[in-house]
Amino acid sequence: MSEYIKFSCERVAAEITSFEGLAELNAHRRKLRQLGLIGVDPNGIGFGNLSVRDGATDNFYITGSATGGRRELALADCAKVVACDFERNCVRYEGSALPSSESLSHAAIYKSDVTAGAVIHCHDSKLWAAVLNEAPTTSKTADYGTAEMANEIVQLFTHTDVPKIIAMAGHEAGILTFGKDLEEAFAALIRERKKICP
C-alpha cells in the first residue's frame, strides 16, 4: 500500500479488461505532462491523475497511484474503481495498479454529476491561487484523498453551480476539472489558465 493513499483498498479482480478511453487518456496525459500539470515533484513524488467513466455506471478507470512520472501508461498502470464508500473510507477496484490517491474525489464528481464522463486532477500553483474561493472551493480542513474531501465535493454540487472546475483549498495547488469527456475537461482547464495568463 502506498503511504499517500488514505483510504482502504479492496482488490476484487487482479486484471482489468481493455477500455476504449486508454488512448485518449494517454493523449491528454502527454499534454498535461508537457504543461507541467502532472508529473513528479523534486522529492520524487508523483502528482496528477485522470479518469474516465465506464459508460453509464458510476464505475471509472483511473490512472494508478505513483504513475505521474511515466511517459505513457499501459493498461496495467490503470485501475478500474467499481465501488467507493465514503463513510467506510474504502475503494473497491480491479487491476494490478493501486488506484490513484484521489479516487474518492473523482468518485464524488461522478456521483454528483451524471453528465461527467472524465475528471482531471492536476497541480497548478498560479491557477490555484487565482481561483481559490472564486471558483467552487473545498474547505481548507479537507485533506487530499480523504472521505472529507469527497464529501466536500458532493456538498459543492449540492449547494452551488459547479462550472467544470473545483479548487482544493486543503491540497495546495490542487485543481479538479471535469467534462463529458477528457477533451472537455482539458478545455475547461486551459480556458481557466488563459484567464490568468492570456
Interval 39-59: pLDDT, tens: 998 888 889 999 999 999 999
Convert the pLDDT of each residue in 130-173 to its tens digit: 999 999 999 999 999 999 999 999 999 999 999 999 999 999 99
pLDDT confidence tier of residue 4, bands split at 50, 70 and 90:
confident
Q: Is the pTM of this model over 0.85?
A: yes
Burial class (CB in 10 A: 0-12, 13-18, 19+), 152: buried
How confident is the model at residue 44, as a pLDDT? 86
Kindly tell me if the per-residue pLDDT of 1 is higher than 60. no
Kindly tell me if the per-residue pLDDT of 5 is higher than 60. yes
How confident is the model at residue 2, as a pLDDT? 66
How confident is the model at residue 16, as a pLDDT? 94
What is d(CA 35, CA 13) in angstroms, rounded to the nearest whole number? 34
Instruction: Round the average pLDDT of the chain to a whole number and report it.
Output: 94
CA 3, 145, 141, 151 torsion: positive or negative? negative
108-115 average pLDDT score: 97
Burial class (CB in 10 A: 0-12, 13-18, 19+), 175: buried
Kindly tell me if the per-residue pLDDT of 96 is higher than 90. yes
What is d(CA 189, CA 175) in angstroms, rounded to the nearest whole number? 9
pLDDT confidence tier of residue 197, bands split at 50, 70 and 90:
confident
How confident is the model at residue 78, as a pLDDT? 97
Convert the pLDDT of each residue in 175-196 to its tens digit: 999 999 999 999 999 999 998 8
How confident is the model at residue 23, as a pLDDT? 95
Convert the pLDDT of each residue in 13-26 to its tens digit: 999 988 989 999 99
Question: Grid coordinates standing for 68?
Answer: 505521474
**In the chain, what are the domain boundaries?**
8-196
What is d(CA 94, CA 119) in angstroms, rounded to the nearest whole number? 19
DSSP string covering 115-164? T--EEEEEE-HHHHHHHTTTS-EE-TT--TTSHHHHHHHHHHHHHS---S
Superfamily of domain 8-196: Class II aldolase/adducin N-terminal domain (3.40.225.10)
How confident is the model at residue 198, as a pLDDT? 67
Q: Are 81 and 62 in contact (CB under 8 A)?
A: yes
How confident is the model at residue 66, as a pLDDT? 87
Helix (H, G, I), strand (E, B) or coil at 4: coil
